[in-house]
Amino acid sequence: MSVHATSRHVTVSTLRRMKAEGEKIACLTAYDASFAAVLDEAGVDVMLVGDSLGMVVQGRETTVPVTVDDIVYHSRAVASRCRRALLMADMPFMSYTSTEQAMASAARLMQEGGAQMVKLEGDARQVEVVSKLAEHGVPVCAHIGLQPQLVHKLGGYRVQGRDPEQAEAMIRDAVALQQAGADVLLLECVPARLADEITAALEIPVIGIGASAGCDGQILVLQDILGITPGRAPGFVRNFMEGQASIQDAVRAYVAAVRTGDFPAPSNLFE
């Protein structure tokens, strides 16, 4: 199987086609030009300038302090070497508290940062924001399940949707966000069966992180797959540097493992 899904530029239509044809979507975070070039060459389909940069680049405790300026700065760097992949950028904490503010933040990420899709955390309470962005031609990825921007409210990073009522609500939220115009759904840290149910219920591609091998694609933080994140890696991470001679080979191995369904393994998932 080819590592490159297609050599043409990846768009929202490419991702939809990949879902329809059962071809897995390989996504990774990227924060600078050098790594963007490596990821692009390896055939990564979507590069995310995630607010995880607060933790892995800036050394903060959480993603909460990250600003729109930070994301714009890193997106611009990634955009300079991102030729094939679709470039997604995170809307930081408190940058989409109203439709007006969300439009202004998304405009900056796309016009100054070169992003081709924005990602925002939130359940059905974000329907109005998603709908407004979609109406104005902004491709949107809605991030549900564990929402790291809510860490101080949740009191930690925990699997979401284990409780049957919470699971039902998550399915309803996913459908509502798709109806509002979301182009992609990202599911973080949810039980695999729930992730499968949501993936089957939606027409838009569903990307998982600690979700299910049945999702339409997978995403991880770059530093995690390279095994350089300090401390103990979360269970949903695999170190792809092991057994590889170079960073390039490790990223290629990640893409291949996502495409073939070798990653995630049951040990990377939750019940």
In angstroms, rounded to a whole number, what is the distance separating the alpha carbons of residues 247 and 203?
34
The one segment of 4-12, 49-57, 164-172, 191-199 that binds ligand KIV by CB under 6 A: 49-57
Task: Clarify whether 188 is annotated catalytic.
Answer: yes
* Number of chain positions touching ligand KIV (CB under 6 A): 11
Of the candidate residues 219, 225, 256, 258, the single one contacting ligand KIV (CB under 6 A): 219
Region for 65 from its dihedrals, namely left if φ exceeds 0, alpha if ψ lies in -120 to 50, beta otherwise: alpha
Is 216 near ligand KIV (CB under 6 A)? no
Q: Which residue, 29 or 212, is less far from ligand KIV as judged by CB? A: 29
Instruction: State whether the Cα torsion 117-119-120-125 is positive or negative.
Output: positive
Active-site annotation holder among 23, 121, 188, 197: 188
Between 6 and 234, CB nearer to ligand KIV = 234
- Contact between 199 and ligand KIV by CB under 6 A: the answer reads no
Q: Are 270 and 61 in contact (CB under 8 A)?
A: no
Of 45, 90, 173, 196, the residue at the interface with ligand KIV (CB under 6 A) is 90
Site map (CB under 6 A) of ligand KIV, residues 132-171, x = contact:
----------------------------------------
Rounded CA gap, 200 and 43, in Å?
26
Check residue 51 for interaction with ligand KIV (CB under 6 A).
yes
Catalytic residue positions? 188
Q: Site residues (CB under 6 A) for ligand KIV?
A: 29, 48, 50-52, 90, 186, 188, 209, 219, 221
